[in-house]
């Protein structure tokens, strides 16, 4: 566990996360199409909603605000000045105007001991004027104040701040007297007392105060609160803690998406607070995080110190069109329409009949993601309006909803059967044919495409392609078209050369187009694309661990060269060991894993001794697969920790790309340390 405080009563959320997401990831890693879940909530699921929501009129849309935890944990900068500063910025920077209301204090606001009367005492170093003063300040700005405690004897921090178990009524009374409007109620040190009982007691205690207080259940999804908490709290955490990383955000996303049927006005799934702005992800990734939380109707609690936030962070958090998706009064959580190959389509029904559609690219290279108006649940119509909520532009479409989405990016759209569709210019889709691979110093032809998705024609179309600095890009075909009708594509060929000596890896190119609508509106659009610079595989036999990789994904930590996978930082593994045999060469991975190598149609064979590494005692079940382009050329079936190494050989003759894949053996990824010992390539 990597938490700064100890816990006595929780199972590791990290493991839980892996177990819950494994099936989904596994299918995606194997390139299998997942069945598309039905869009509408089936009546059976609706009936299965355990209990009606609390009918107190609170949180009819997902709560929006701020919480200090993700940016400060318990560090000293969490204090009155911070809370007031954030409240000031809510007003000054337009966040209050965008809908953000709650300014919430997390753990560590109190002293470790109650006073002689059993009352909670604010830490005088952090809150010298008490909590009431902070509440007054926040209220004077038209905002609301939130506080935190645990449904246990102590909170989660190892300093041992008092929890509310056994003090529910007096603590709730104290919060209400201070003017608190929101309570986050955690799960640490719960002494094994039944969760439903603990969370119901605090609900009743809050109600008894007579003050409207939004009640946030934080038991990390351990007792499936989505099944019983609709009439207990207004929101419930569905997962362990988020951290400021792409993998954490992704793992939580995948746990929260299937819970869509359980969310609604006054009772929301909570995939934890936002990390936007904290520095561990790129702005593209933060836009995905914010888009996906909004399409999931998640609470939007800003988790960055706004006093230090960049303009880019304010632009993301303050995007009112995206916030409107989250805050739609119908209160539906978006559902997964498709997710094959890391190409996610998530659609959310909106009160006005439109659909918010997130085209999310989980993969590390730009990909085309497509669906249709009918598939996301819109009625048949001649044309639709399609609003891009990040570009703030409106187009018409004949029904196709598609975009080439950059690596880790999300295109967020709002699509509507709108009789005024014809007043908007046609949407076009920009893309590249195939997955572009080139060798440094050798020209390669890349083909760009521009397709009219509109009901109306795109006229006077022109296209350009720009490569990274130092590359040469020359048109090798005409680059203009007089007009493109609905569904028609202009293909343009480009001779692209990366200078000799360009290191292997992924590089960004930009395809741009300009065109006119039939009414003369001029439109420009562009899309970032990726090309990979590769080196031809060496002749003879090489260890795969010594060759450059095209891409690599891994369940925990990075893929390790010549050691096992230690789950965390690079280089934290041990000697590769299967069934007592130690190997000096190979790759150490953790399911779900997928590593690709460029073989340039020049190689014949991959061999390896594979198995679960001995370091995990008795646990771990995995299956190994070797893929030659789109074909599974060899596989082991499920291997357990108890088994000796299995010799695996694959004929990969003629393959352009070879992939080493490890799945979880069907039981989640817990302890799945997998070794590709002695993995070799013959060319």
Please state the closest distance from residue 70 (CB atom) to ligand GLA, in A.
Answer: 8
DSSP 3-state assignment of 638?
A: strand
Looking at the Cβ atoms of 220 and 515, the one nearer to ligand GLA is: 220
106: contact with ligand GLA by CB under 6 A: yes
The dihedral formed by the CA atoms of 551, 287, 515 and 457, expressed in degrees to the nearest 10: 90
Looking at the Cβ atoms of 5 and 549, the one nearer to ligand GLA is: 5
Contact between 611 and 644 under an 8 Å Cβ cutoff? The reply is: yes
Contact between 507 and 641 under an 8 Å Cβ cutoff? The reply is: no
Please state the closest distance from residue 207 (CB atom) to ligand GLA, in A.
Answer: 23
183: contact with ligand GLA by CB under 6 A: no
Contact between 350 and 330 under an 8 Å Cβ cutoff? The reply is: yes
- The window from 154-162, 312-320, 451-459, 638-646 that contacts ligand GLA (CB under 6 A) reads 154-162
> How many whole angstroms separate alpha carbon 186 and alpha carbon 233?
12
Looking at the Cβ atoms of 157 and 593, the one nearer to ligand GLA is: 157
* Beta-bridge mates of residue 628: 631, 658
Looking at the Cβ atoms of 107 and 678, the one nearer to ligand GLA is: 107
Looking at the Cβ atoms of 69 and 286, the one nearer to ligand GLA is: 69
Please state the closest distance from residue 107 (CB atom) to ligand GLA, in A.
Answer: 3
Looking at the Cβ atoms of 107 and 672, the one nearer to ligand GLA is: 107
Please state the closest distance from residue 186 (CB atom) to ligand GLA, in A.
Answer: 5
186: contact with ligand GLA by CB under 6 A: yes
Strands, DSSP E only, in 203-242? 214-217, 235-237
80: contact with ligand GLA by CB under 6 A: no
> How many whole angstroms separate alpha carbon 504 and alpha carbon 501?
9
Query: Pattern of binders to ligand GLA over 19-58, x per CB under 6 A?
Result: ----------------------------------------
> How many whole angstroms separate alpha carbon 43 and alpha carbon 461?
48
- Choosing from 107, 171, 241, 272, the catalytic residue is 241
156: contact with ligand GLA by CB under 6 A: yes
Contact between 165 and 198 under an 8 Å Cβ cutoff? The reply is: yes
Paired tokens of 134: 């902070």
Strands, DSSP E only, in 92-181? 102-104, 144-150
> Residues with Cβ < 8 Å from 92, sequence gap 6 or more?
none
Size of the site for ligand GLA (CB under 6 A): 10
Please state the closest distance from residue 439 (CB atom) to ligand GLA, in A.
Answer: 48
Please give the helix or strand (H or E) that residue 45 lies within, else none. Answer: helix 43-48
Please state the closest distance from residue 125 (CB atom) to ligand GLA, in A.
Answer: 18
219: contact with ligand GLA by CB under 6 A: no
Helices and strands in the chain: count of H runs, count of E runs? 12, 38
CB neighbours of residue 512 within 10 Å:
16
HSE at residue 619, side-chain half, CA atoms within 13 A, is 11
Per CB under 6 A, the list member of 79, 168, 241, 418 interacting with ligand GLA is: 241
Looking at the Cβ atoms of 107 and 614, the one nearer to ligand GLA is: 107
ω into residue 592 within 30 of 0, thus cis? yes
- The window from 33-41, 149-157, 340-348, 658-666 that contacts ligand GLA (CB under 6 A) reads 149-157
* Beta-bridge mates of residue 267: 264
Looking at the Cβ atoms of 106 and 664, the one nearer to ligand GLA is: 106
218: contact with ligand GLA by CB under 6 A: yes
Our answer to whether residue 186 is catalytic in this structure is yes
| Residue whose C-alpha is closest to residue 225's, from 50, 11, 46 | 50
Looking at the Cβ atoms of 74 and 544, the one nearer to ligand GLA is: 74
- The window from 150-158, 278-286, 316-324, 522-530 that contacts ligand GLA (CB under 6 A) reads 150-158
- Choosing from 79, 106, 107, 186, the catalytic residue is 186
Phi, psi for 326 (deg, rounded to 5):
-60, -45
> How many whole angstroms separate alpha carbon 346 and alpha carbon 532?
28
Our answer to whether residue 241 is catalytic in this structure is yes
User: Is the C-alpha dihedral spanning 516, 479, 493, 364 positive or negative?
Assistant: negative
Please state the closest distance from residue 156 (CB atom) to ligand GLA, in A.
Answer: 3
CA 540 to chain centre: 41
Beta pairing class for 300-302 and 64-67: parallel
Please state the closest distance from residue 148 (CB atom) to ligand GLA, in A.
Answer: 6
CA angle 306, 309, 312 (to 5 degrees): 130
69: contact with ligand GLA by CB under 6 A: yes
270: contact with ligand GLA by CB under 6 A: no
Phi, psi for 534 (deg, rounded to 5):
-125, 165
Please state the closest distance from residue 10 (CB atom) to ligand GLA, in A.
Answer: 8
Per CB under 6 A, the list member of 21, 68, 72, 157 interacting with ligand GLA is: 157
Please state the closest distance from residue 22 (CB atom) to ligand GLA, in A.
Answer: 22
301: contact with ligand GLA by CB under 6 A: no
Give burial (CB, 10 Å; 0-12/13-18/19+) of 192: exposed
Please state the closest distance from residue 119 (CB atom) to ligand GLA, in A.
Answer: 21
275: contact with ligand GLA by CB under 6 A: no
Looking at the Cβ atoms of 186 and 609, the one nearer to ligand GLA is: 186
Looking at the Cβ atoms of 157 and 513, the one nearer to ligand GLA is: 157
Per CB under 6 A, the list member of 80, 86, 105, 107 interacting with ligand GLA is: 107
**Angle subtended by helix axes 195-209 and 168-178, to nearest 10:** 40
Please give the helix or strand (H or E) that residue 199 lies within, else none. Answer: helix 195-209
User: Is the C-alpha dihedral spanning 94, 100, 103, 105 positive or negative?
Assistant: negative
Give the residue numbers annotated as catalytic, written as ranges: 186, 241
Q: Which residues bind ligand GLA (CB under 6 A)?
A: 5, 69, 106-107, 155-157, 186, 218, 241
């Amino acid at each position: 566990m990597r938490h700064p405080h100890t816990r006595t009563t929780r199972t590791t959320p990290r493991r839980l996360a892996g177990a819950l997401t494994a099936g989904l990831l596994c299918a995606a890693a194997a390139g299998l199409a997942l069945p598309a879940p039905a869009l509408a909530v089936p009546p059976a699921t609706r009936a299965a909603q355990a209990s009606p929501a609390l009918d107190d009129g609170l949180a009819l849309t997902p709560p929006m605000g701020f919480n200090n935890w993700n940016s400060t944990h318990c560090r000293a900068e969490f204090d009155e000045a911070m809370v007031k500063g954030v409240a000031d910025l809510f007003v000054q920077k337009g966040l209050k105007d965008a809908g953000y209301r709650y300014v919430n204090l997390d753990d560590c606001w109190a002293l470790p001991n109650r006073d002689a009367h059993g009352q909670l005492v604010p830490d005088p170093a952090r809150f010298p004027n008490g909590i009431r003063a902070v509440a007054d300040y926040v209220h004077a700005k038209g905002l609301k104040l939130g506080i935190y405690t645990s449904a246990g004897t102590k909170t989660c921090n190892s300093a041992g701040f008092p929890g509310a178990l056994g003090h529910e009524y007096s603590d709730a009374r104290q919060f209400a007297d201070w003017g608190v409007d929101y309570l986050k109620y955690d799960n640490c040190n719960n002494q094994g007392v039944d969760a439903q009982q603990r969370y119901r007691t605090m609900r009743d205690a809050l109600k008894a105060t007579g003050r409207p207080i939004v009640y946030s259940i934080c038991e990390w999804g351990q007792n499936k609160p989505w099944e019983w908490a609709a009439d207990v709290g207004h929101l419930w955490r569905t997962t362990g803690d988020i951290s400021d990383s792409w993998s954490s955000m992704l793992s939580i996303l995948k746990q929260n998406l299937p819970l869509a049927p359980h969310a609604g006005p006054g009772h929301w799934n909570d995939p934890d607070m936002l990390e936007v702005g904290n520095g561990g992800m790129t702005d593209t990734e933060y836009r995905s995080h914010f888009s996906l939380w909004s399409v999931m109707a998640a609470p939007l609690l800003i988790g960055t110190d706004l006093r230090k936030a960049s303009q880019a962070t304010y632009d993301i958090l303050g995007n009112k069109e995206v916030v409107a998706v989250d805050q739609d009064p119908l209160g539906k959580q978006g559902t997964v329409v498709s997710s094959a190959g890391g190409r996610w389509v998530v659609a959310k029904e909106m009160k006005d009949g439109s659909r918010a559609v997130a085209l999310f690219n989980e993969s590390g290279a730009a990909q085309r993601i497509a669906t249709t108006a009918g598939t996301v649940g819109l009625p048949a119509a001649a044309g639709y309006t399609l609003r891009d909520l990040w570009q703030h532009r409106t187009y018409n479409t004949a029904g196709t909803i598609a975009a080439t989405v950059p690596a880790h990016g999300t295109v967020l759209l709002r699509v509507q059967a709108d009789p005024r569709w014809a007043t908007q210019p046609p949407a076009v889709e920009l893309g590249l044919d195939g997955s572009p691979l080139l060798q440094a110093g050798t020209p390669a032809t890349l083909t760009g495409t521009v397709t009219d998705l509109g009901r109306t024609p795109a006229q006077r179309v022109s296209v350009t392609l720009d490569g990274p600095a130092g590359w040469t890009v020359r048109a090798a075909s005409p680059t203009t078209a007089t007009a493109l009708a609905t569904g028609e594509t202009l293909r343009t060929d480009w001779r692209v050369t990366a200078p000799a000596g360009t290191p292997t890896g992924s590089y960004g190119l930009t395809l741009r187009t300009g065109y006119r609508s039939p009414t003369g509106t001029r439109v420009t659009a562009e899309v970032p694309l990726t090309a990979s610079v590769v080196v031809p595989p060496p002749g003879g036999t090489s260890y795969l661990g010594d060759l450059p990789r095209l891409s690599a994904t891994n369940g925990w930590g990075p893929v390790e060269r010549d050691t096992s996978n230690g789950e965390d930082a690079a280089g934290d593994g041990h000697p590769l060991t299967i069934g007592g045999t130690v190997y000096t060469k190979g790759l150490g991975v953790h399911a779900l894993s997928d590593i690709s190598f460029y073989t340039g149609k020049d190689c014949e064979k991959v061999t390896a001794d594979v198995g679960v590494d001995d370091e995990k005692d008795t646990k771990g079940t995995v299956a190994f697969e070797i893929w030659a382009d789109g074909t599974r050329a060899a596989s082991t079936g499920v291997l357990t920790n108890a088994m000796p190494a299995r010799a695996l050989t694959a004929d990969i003759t003629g393959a352009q790309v070879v992939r080493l894949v490890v799945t979880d053996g069907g039981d989640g990824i817990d302890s799945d340390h997998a070794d590709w010992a002695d993995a070799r390539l013959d060319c």
